[in-house]
Structure 1
Amino acid sequence: MSTYLDAVNDALERLDDLGYERNLGGGDLANHGPMGAEALAVLGHGDAVPGWIETYRNAAPHHEPPVPYQRLDGSDEADWRAALGDIGRAGDFEELFLREMAEEGWRAVLVRWWPRLLPGPMTGLTHGLIRTAHAVRGLAATAQPTPSQLRELARGLGYWAARFIDAPGPGRLTGRSNVAAALTAIPRLTEPPNSPQEGLARMRNPHSMPGYADALGILAPDHIDRLLSDMTANYAGVCVAHSAHGFPIPLLHGVTAPAAARLVLPQLPRQLHEPTVAALWQAQVTLLMMITTGNDGEESALTRAQRAEVPAWDELIGRAVEHGDEHVIKFTEACLREHALRPDPRYAWAVDIAQQQIERPDAEGGSALTVRFGRSGS
């Protein structure tokens, strides 16, 4: 059986020729290959990675990898800030990060750029942050990173920088509400988006949604680990509460993004921990406000999860591998990991429903656009 690092490095080599994004459902969406493969390896199914990659590659065409054309200076704030959000500079950012890692090591580069990019947690529907975190987990597992691993971190950070969406106002841990109460207090849409493009437009201009600025500041500070667990457990319940019309895939990033950031925190100085959680709260607020029209079922999610008949985790893992969808795999791995830290029945319940409702990548018929964005009603 392949070891975790063997599987990760083999996957990165097999995926090396894919660009940062793919065309799926009429839009450009993040390349999930490295993240899905790494999660499969974590789940103990490294031997399944080559076959999974072949299926993934055939599911949708990817853009070409970016190439650098103008050198960026990481020490010149005016220079690199001018390139933020310009996907045409993706190759320049990737080259910059590789150059800095060769000079100072990957941890120094991560610590420098994490706070620079943190104000854009929703970049790529949180995949800038998530891809970076998956790369960090692999790097932290070895004293001798391979060139493929270092390049993957450069690509995670590069995607985050090149698709950067500057938040108009940061999340703040300055309120008085715990996570459950804060989620309940977030105002919702009067009408769901008609398409992924409409939902993404709201994401890019969240202050157009009434009550957004106030929602950013209603969460109370708490111990960082406890806050992260509360955020992922409650959001797992939120996902199922809005699954009546098909599992709303964008919402599951309200679980996978905080779970991913938890992987990075041990590599960061403590003064960056609270700003990270505040940025994740901003992402959770934005996700709720961009696609949900009510909160029916959210407050009762824990009670319903406690009563639900859910398969054991070993079965859920096997089902995720067999299912093959990258979101199902990453969601299963994140929920399993969060459950191991602080058990909560909403994790397995949400995974079970997601595996049943998200379309398999080899399924015939159905709209990828609908499946991946969903329609989340009250």
Structure 2
Amino acid sequence: MPAGLEPLLESLGRAQRKGFEYKGFVANHAPMGAEVLSTMDVGEELVGWTDTYLTWVDDPEPAKQRIDGDPVSLACALGDIERSTDWIEFFTRELAEAHWRDVVDAWWPRLLRGISAAGTHGFLRTAHAVRAMNEHGSEHPLLLDEIAHGLGYWAARYQELPGVYAQARPLRTAPGALETIPWLPATAKSRREGIPGRLDLLRDDREFAAGVESFRPTVSWPDQIGRLTQIGARAFAAHHNTPIPFVHLVTAPSALRMLSKDLTAEALESTAWHLWQFFAGIFAGFGALTPEPAAVPVEPAPSIDALRTAAVEHGDEHVIKFTDACLTEFTISGDDIFLRAASLAPARFGALHCKPR
């Protein structure tokens, strides 16, 4: 078994026995955090980190009714978190009958418009599972189960935003398009909490739809991801009091790179646009919650090793994932905004009680 795979599999197995969320809306980050930590040489202590994190996570929903492949059965279950176990069982059956890439290829276009589901965490969980498979050269059953969980979470929390990819035109740059999209009032209330709740308020927003459709990249999808994550890193630095939504302006777009060898060129391009749509939704939903944005730090940026060490010692799942994504983007672009943004993360999140080191 490849080095580092065994503790990751142990962590994934434990995480898969828990539910998708805690507090009714916060995504279970244990599988994604464990996958990142497995690349940071924490060894067997990875399992301890996972166990500590999972003490917060709710038990899984009981199975309700088998989801069949017919359109009515699928439509009835889509977006229903109470059917989450039914969705896991459905994708487990799909993965038993076909190669995982074929399952992903078949379901990607069906789920793509709902990529904002649970703040993109269904998409993210799937992407981290695929990266683990590629990094370790393994299709271990627990890694296949993780793909079933990622796709299942995506389907169970499916959430569309206004705007249609087919109608998008290259009328503006991404920053220019963002300037046309109004922000929700800070006092706006939703029936749901967290990122999904704020995004719910955009459901019928025609100005939002027009704004997102006014941008369609004229560059390759990797270049688009690079540009979005640069904007996202600066936004994270500025929006100091709402770190959770703004970390996803880097982690979500950057995660598409984990799938670069496994999706078709068409799927990669369309996914990059739908991640832009989510990206715009975070600005629209949370921008007004920071009345006085902070300045980007001007001190010399920390080293890559120092940032990795700080993330591991801190232990928070968002710090770990954000640091990983920032370092990925820095390695590609050389823009030290990613190092500066990552250096801010530990102070903006509470440390996990039991650290992996």
- TM-score where L is the length of structure 2: 0.89
The letter of the residue matching 2:249 is G
1:279 to 248, 270, 274: 274
Percent of aligned positions that are identical = 36
2:306 is matched with 315
Say yes or no: does 1:178 pair with 2:178: no
Say yes or no: does 1:242 pair with 2:236: no
Closer, same or farther in 2 for the Cα pair 1:309/1:173, shift >3 Å? Answer: farther
1:262 is matched with 257
Following the alignment from structure 1 to structure 2, what is the Cα–Cα distance between the partners of residues 198 and 49?
28
Work out whether residues 161 and 199 of structure 2, in 8 Å CA contact, stay in contact via their aligned partners in 1: no
* Cα distance, 1:140 vs structure 2: 2.5
Q: How does 1:1-378 map to 2 (within 5 A)?
A: 3-23=3-23, 27-58=24-55, 60=56, 62-74=57-69, 76-171=70-165, 173-191=168-186, 197=193, 200-209=196-205, 211-221=207-217, 222-243=219-240, 246-293=241-288, 304=296, 307-362=298-353
Secondary structure at the residue paired with 1:206? coil
Following the alignment from structure 1 to structure 2, what is the Cα–Cα distance between the partners of residues 180 and 296?
20
Work out whether residues 40 and 48 of structure 1, in 8 Å CA contact, stay in contact via their aligned partners in 2: no
The letter of the residue matching 2:314 is H
Closer, same or farther in 2 for the Cα pair 1:139/1:67, shift >3 Å? Answer: farther
The letter of the residue matching 1:362 is H
Following the alignment from structure 1 to structure 2, what is the Cα–Cα distance between the partners of residues 47 and 315?
21
Following the alignment from structure 1 to structure 2, what is the Cα–Cα distance between the partners of residues 309 and 266?
35
Work out whether residues 67 and 91 of structure 1, in 8 Å CA contact, stay in contact via their aligned partners in 2: yes
Residue range with higher mean Cα deviation, 194-203 or 98-107: 194-203
Closer, same or farther in 2 for the Cα pair 1:204/1:55, shift >3 Å? Answer: same
Closer, same or farther in 2 for the Cα pair 1:351/1:66, shift >3 Å? Answer: same
- TM-score where L is the length of structure 1: 0.85
Structure 1, gaps ≥5 residues long: 364-378
Following the alignment from structure 2 to structure 1, what is the Cα–Cα distance between the partners of residues 149 and 351?
27
Work out whether residues 241 and 296 of structure 1, in 8 Å CA contact, stay in contact via their aligned partners in 2: no
Following the alignment from structure 1 to structure 2, what is the Cα–Cα distance between the partners of residues 46 and 120?
35
* Cα distance, 1:296 vs structure 2: 8.8
* Cα distance, 1:340 vs structure 2: 1.1
Structure 2, gaps ≥5 residues long: none
Deviations 1:321-372 (A, max 9, x none): 0101000000001111111122211111111111122121339xxxxxxxxx
Work out whether residues 235 and 255 of structure 1, in 8 Å CA contact, stay in contact via their aligned partners in 2: yes
In the alignment of these two chains, the number of paired residues is 350
Secondary structure at the residue paired with 1:141? helix
